Structure 1
Amino acid sequence: MKKSLHLLSAVAMSAAVMFIGFNASAVELRGSHKANQVACKSCHTKGMKQAGTTEGCLSCHESYDAVRALTEKNHPELEVNPHMDGHLGELDCTDCHHIHKPSEVVCSECHQFGFTAP
């Protein structure tokens, strides 16, 4: 009985650590994804241990064309639309956009457009 109790305690502690770990990442969810309470599985289409994918992004954001149009609508002040199919081709969404840490703008490695990525 005592061994069973120890085993049960160990299983409960492991489950608690896993739960806290996943929730710690969920707390870091940022921007509109946080505001709209997007489910983790919506982005993590290949499992929770894998990063979000462009496939996951486009399951809500429809297509690159839709993202380009939304960017033009919401940011008419931009001199260049960062979602245009430029000389790097269509990048993976996650090249610039990160949900659990600050995003970065790949274009800024060479250009000075002044973009900020949500």
Structure 2
Amino acid sequence: MKKSLRLLSAVAVIASSALLAFNANAVQLRGSHKENHVACKSCHTQGMQHAGTTEGCLSCHQSYDAVRALTEKNHPDLEVNPHMDGHLGELDCTDCHHMHKASEVVCNECHQFDFVAP
């Protein structure tokens, strides 16, 4: 009986470990976060069920001004910097940028700018 319980316990531990490993690998990062091997917990600071927030983004990306400057540096040919204060104000980073699915350009709901949100 004790042997059976130990065996069942071992099987349960192995199965739960395999399930956790599968779940952690089931969702892939995209873009520069993937390229830079950013850990999931870097953005999911309140647990895996909670998405990243602008505050979380700015903990690495410093400030909205720094993001604007980086955009200008990396994309000098853009007609408009999407991170400039427009008539919508400073949007949440996650309004446009998604780490596990395709990002979107919220501005293009009304405009037709020629840029892509990574």
- Give the TM-score, by structure 2 length: 0.89
Larger Rg: 2
Return the offset for 1:79. Answer: 1.1
CA distance in 2 between counterparts of 1:90 and 1:12 reads: 47
Identify the residue that residue 24 of structure 2 maps to in structure 1: 22
- The runs of 5 or more residues in structure 2 that have no matched partner are none
Identify the residue that residue 88 of structure 1 maps to in structure 2: 88
Q: Does 1:44 align with 2:44?
A: yes
After superposing on structure 2, the runs of 4+ consecutive aligned residues of structure 1 that deviate more than 6 Å are none
Letter in 2 for 1:52: G
Letter in 2 for 1:12: I
Return the offset for 1:48. Answer: 1.5
Superimposed CA distance per residue, residues 64-113 of structure 1 (whole angstroms, 9 cap, x where no aligned partner): 00000111111111111100111111111111111111111111111101
Return the offset for 1:7. Answer: 3.5
* RMSD of aligned Cα (Å): 1.3
CA distance in 2 between counterparts of 1:5 and 1:87 reads: 63
The number of residues matched between the two structures is 116
Q: Does 1:79 align with 2:74?
A: no
Return the offset for 1:12. Answer: 2.3
- The runs of 5 or more residues in structure 1 that have no matched partner are none
- Give the TM-score, by structure 1 length: 0.89
1:5 to 4, 7, 11: 7
Return the offset for 1:11. Answer: 3.3
- Which deviates more, 61-70 or 36-45? 36-45
Of all paired residues, the percent bearing the same amino acid is 73
Q: Is the 8 A contact 1:43 1:52 kept in 2?
A: yes
